[in-house]
Copies of this chain bind each other. A is one copy, B any other.
Amino acid sequence: MAENQDRGSTRQLSEKPIVRWAGKDILGIQELSVAEIQFILDTTGSFKEVSTREIKKVPTLRGKTVINLFFEPSTRTKTSFEIAAKRLSADTINISTSSSSVVKGETLIDTAKNLEAMKPDCIVIRHSASGAPHLLARLMDVPVINAGDGAHEHPTQALLDLFTVREKAGRLAGLKVAIVGDILHSRVARSNIHGFTKMGAEVHLAGPPTMKPAAVERLGVHWHTSLAEVIPEADVIMMLRIQLERQEGGFFPTLREYSRLFGLNVDILKPAKPGVLIMHPGPINRGVEISPEVADGPFSVILDQVTNGVAVRMALLYLLVGGEKEADRSSL
């Protein structure tokens, strides 16, 4: 197992274990096997190349319809999915809460069933309620991709994070990954805890005690109450966005105080390893959880994450809608 997990992205395609993609949906990292994650990351590599071409488009999903059903505002995730679908030649339909008949009181299930009746090939959903995508996936034949559900999971974010680390560090297994900030409310943290742990990395969490999930150690991770404590050993430092409205909720006293204790800056980063990777799912609060010098600095891979987000979403749309269902799984 460790051998499989430890492969760099430079290995030959022919050497990789091939899986037949069997899943209908992408709902969370928790539901994915190590082999499935590896297969997604390998597939992502092929699609990343497309966006570097002069003509950034392949005909893979021509005549397919992808619906982006977003019940929460979003720029980067929605745009990333839309660009991914279009680069595969799919038609895209964007539906946002404000313009939706949800204002008329229709239930989520009825909205989804109605969209399904128009014969789309994939529904990408973001919803503030944890489990909303799972509910839809159970009730519908069409593939569903979770683009973020409440504080539960954000699997495509974790997959792009895993891809970015594997691309930069050459491996995932054995790495020490620090995730810092509001762990309690973060679907990004939750998905990445599952993802990095599954792939053999060691996950270290740091944040204020008010933002520590109950019994988080049961997930096989380590808890730290100070940012400084996780810096020296970390191969990866992933900063989480602090939701400014949490201050009113009493989760931390002031932004200045939060920033002093859990903000990443050049000073606190001094004992870090030479090749440490600085990550952030965005949008960043400059000067709060991360200083501009670090966000724009040499160790930051924040914009690589964004670039890889398009590639990982192309790979997922391809796997769920376009094929590989017939591939050989015997070598697994």
Residues of A participating in the B interface, judged by any CB pair closer than 8 Å: 51-57, 62-65, 67, 73-76, 78-80, 82-83, 86-87, 91, 93, 95-96, 98-107, 110-111, 113-121, 244, 282-286, 303-304, 306-307, 309-310
Contacts and interface: CB of A to CB of B under 8 A. Distances in A.
B56 A310 contact: no
B303 A114 contact: yes
Contact of A93 (B53, B83, B114, B116): B83
B107 A286 contact: yes
Contacts of A95: 75, 79
A96 B100 CA distance: 11
B244 A105 contact: yes
Contacts of A53: 63
A56 B119 contact: yes
13 contacts: A67-B79, A73-B98, A73-B99, A79-B115, A82-B93, A83-B93, A83-B120, A87-B91, A101-B283, A105-B244, A110-B284, A117-B303, A117-B304
A79 B283 contact: no
A15 B55 CA distance: 33
A80 to B, nearest CB: 6
B114 A282 contact: yes
Contacts of A106: 75, 282-284
A125 to B, nearest CB: 14
User: Which among A86, A96, A99, A121 has the highest number of chain B CB atoms within 10 Å?
Assistant: A99
Contacts of A105: 244, 283, 285
